[in-house]
Amino acid sequence: MDEQEKEMKEQTAETEEESQPKADQVEKLKETTEKIWGSTKHAWSAATFKANQYKKLVQKKIDQSALHKKIHVAHGDLGKLIDDLREAGEKNILNLVAVREILTRIDELKAEAVALEQEVEQIRNEEVPQEQPQEEGEEKEKTE
């Protein structure tokens, strides 16, 4: 019986030694998979953020273009009105109501253009949120 007991102990020791490396390999594989998944989620988040940022920028640029066209049209209207009034022999053209209305409209459009430019700069300066990796770190701390 002694020999059988020794053989059983040896087999148990060998089994324990074999299971320990397998457990380590499984743990390493799990950690690697988690790191890859975390990196993938972060890359996806960054890519979608950049795409959304680009979409916003394009829309703002379209809005700016339309606004500049309106300003250009208002300048044309103002020039035509002033020329018509001058030909009609009007004095103090800049004090007339119609001229002041167009000048006010131009000022409003220019203020709008400045606001749009500020929004464009704000969008350009936005950075990818760093919340994803921090959350993963917090989860690891909770599990450990």
> Please, are residues 81 and 98 in contact by the beta-carbon 8 Å criterion?
yes
Per-residue confidence in pLDDT tens, the chain, 144 aa:
567 666 666 666 555 555 567 778 888 888 999 999 999 999 999 999 999 999 999 999 999 999 999 999 999 999 999 999 999 998 888 899 999 999 999 999 999 999 999 999 999 998 877 754 444 444 444 444
Whole-number pLDDT of residue 98? 93
Whole-number pLDDT of residue 113? 95
Whole-number pLDDT of residue 17? 56
Query: What is the residue type of 59?
Result: Q
Token reading at 71: 């300003």
H helices within the chain, ranges in order? 2-87, 97-125, 131-143
Give the integer Cα–Cα distance in Å for 40 and 34.
10
> Please, are residues 126 and 50 in contact by the beta-carbon 8 Å criterion?
no
Identify the residue whose tokens are 């339309």: 66
Give the integer Cα–Cα distance in Å for 38 and 6.
48
Distance of CA 88 to the CA centre of its chain: 56
Whole-number pLDDT of residue 15? 56
